[in-house]
Chains A and B, each alone.
Chain A
Amino acid sequence: MSTAQLLADDPVWLILVKVVGIFAFLVVMTLFMINWERKVVARMQQRPGPNRVGPNGWLQSLADGLKLAFKEDIRPVLADKWVFFLAPVISCIPAFVAFSVIPLGGKVTIFGQETALQLVDLPVGVLVVLACSSLGVYGIVLSGWASGSPYPLLGALRSAAQVISYEIAMGLSIVAVVMSSHSLSTADIVSTQSGTIAWGALPAWNAILLPVSFVIYVISMVGETNRAPFDLPEAESELVGGFHTEYSSLKFALFFLAEYVNMVTVSALATTLFLGGWQLPFVGVDHFLNSGWWGLLWFVVKTLGFLFLFIWLRGTLPRLRYDQFMRLGWKFLVPLALFWFVAVAFTRYFNQERQADNVSTSLLLTVFGAVLAVVLLIAFLLPDKREHKDPNAVPITGGGYPVPPLDLQVPKSPPRRQVPVAQLPTAEDRTAEPAAVTASAKEAGDGNA
C-alpha cells in the first residue's frame, strides 16, 4: 500500500491533528534552534552563551520571543501600510506550507486510524517545496520595498537575486534525484533509498549515489535560506539589518520565525532527498526499528545534523562579497549541476541498454574512450591563455609574495642616538610580562570549563 493510498482515507480530524502537530513541531524546533545556535556558536567562540533563563539557559529564546511580542510596533511614516503588514505574513506562510509534503515517518496508528506520518503525499511533492520557497521571496522583497527606506530596499534586491539564482542550482541538483528515483513524490523518493549498495557496506542513499547533487544542494540550501556565509540580504556591516531594518515587535518575530522554519524545511528536504528520509539504514525496511514512530526519531536526528551544519558554517566562515557569491552560483554551481545531470542521464540510459543487451560493455567503453580522447585532444590543441601584463606593476621577486628584490640597496642606518643605560628594560621587566600572560590565559580557561 503506497503512502498516497494510506493518506487518502484520513478523516478530517486526523488531518487537523497532523496540521497542528507539524505547526507545533516547527515552532518548537525554531525555539530550540535559536538557543542551540547561540550555545554552539558560543562554544565555538570559547564563551558560555545564554545560561540564565530556565534550566541551563534553554528557555532564553522563549523569553526573547515573549519580549518581542510585547514590544511597541513601529511603522515608518514613509512605509506602504498594507504591504508593510502583508510582507511578514507572506514570508511566514509558505515556510510552514512547504513542510506539509515532508515524510516524517512510516506507517503508524493514531487513535486507531492507520496512516502515515506525513500530511500529504502529492505526485509533485518536491515541486511544492520549490514553489513555496519562490513565494517566500515575496515576503522579503515586499518588506524591503514597503519600508520606504534605502537599506531595506537594497537588502531586498540582494535577497531576490540571491534566492532566485540559488533556486536554479537547487532545482537542477534535485533533477538528478528525481531521475534516479523516477518520481517527484517525497514518499517514493524515500522508499527508493531503502536498500544498500557496494555489497551491503553503504546505504543506498542518494548522497552516496549522487554526491555532486548532494554537495550542490547543500551549498544552495544555505544560499536559499540567507544564512551565513551567504547572509548578504541582512549583512550587518553593510546594510544595518537588511530587509527587516524597519520592522519591530511581532512582525520582526515573524521574519525570524520564517527564517528558522525555512532552515528546518530545507534540512528536512535534504534528509528526505539524500539521506534516506526517516529510514534507518542497514536494518531493512521491515525491521522493527523502521516501524511505527521510530522513523520520526531517525528523521529528527538526520535533520538536526543538517541544522548543526548551518550553525557550524555560521561559526566558521566569513561572509562572502556579493560578486563572489553570484559568481559561485552562476559560474560554478549551475554549470556543474547541468553537466552532472546530463552525465547521470547518459549513464542511466546506457545502463538500461546494456541490461537489455542492446549494447555490449566493450562497445560502451570504446565509445567513452573515444569521446574522452577527442576532448583531451581539443584541450591540448587550445592555446594557453595569455597572461595579462600590467606595465605599471611593481616588480616582485619570489613566489608571488612581496619580498624585497635580491639586489636591494639597504641605506646606511643613521648614527644611533645614545640611550642612557638606566632607561633600558632590565631582565626582570622582560620576564614579568610573560608571567602575566599565562595567568590571564589560565583564567580564561577556567571560565570555559
Chain B
Amino acid sequence: MEMYTEILVSFFLVVAGIFGLVGSFGMLKLTDTMQRLHAPTKATTLGVGGVLIASMLYFGLGKAQVSFHELLITIFLFLTAPVTANFIAKTYMARNIKPEELPASEREYGWAVYDDPPGRAEEDFHERERKGRN
C-alpha cells in the first residue's frame, strides 16, 4: 500500500476516534439531559462518518475494490440522528417539563407534545357521534 493512502486512512481513523470519544465523554460530563442530547447526536455521528470515510479510502485506494456500502450507512446515520434526537427531546419534555414552563407558541394551537394536532378534537367528536348513533 502506498504511503499517502496510509497517511490519509490513519488521519481519518484518528479524527474519527477523537470525535467518537468526545461525543461519549460529553454525555458523561454535561449536567442536564437537554445538554447531554447535544454531544452524542452530533459528535458521535461525525465519528462514525470518519470511520466510514476511512474504510472507503482503505478499500478503494488500498485494495482497489470500490464499494458504496459505507456511503449507504453514512447517509442512513446522518438522516436518522436528528429524528432520534427530536424523539428523545420530546420524551424528556413530556415527562419532565410542564406546559406552563414553556413560552407560548404564538400560534392558533399549542405545542405538539402537549396538545392534540389541529383538527383532532373535531375528528374525535365526529367519531363519538357516529358510535353514539350506532
Q: Do chains A and B interact in one complex?
A: no
Q: B residues bordering A, Cβ < 8 Å? A: none
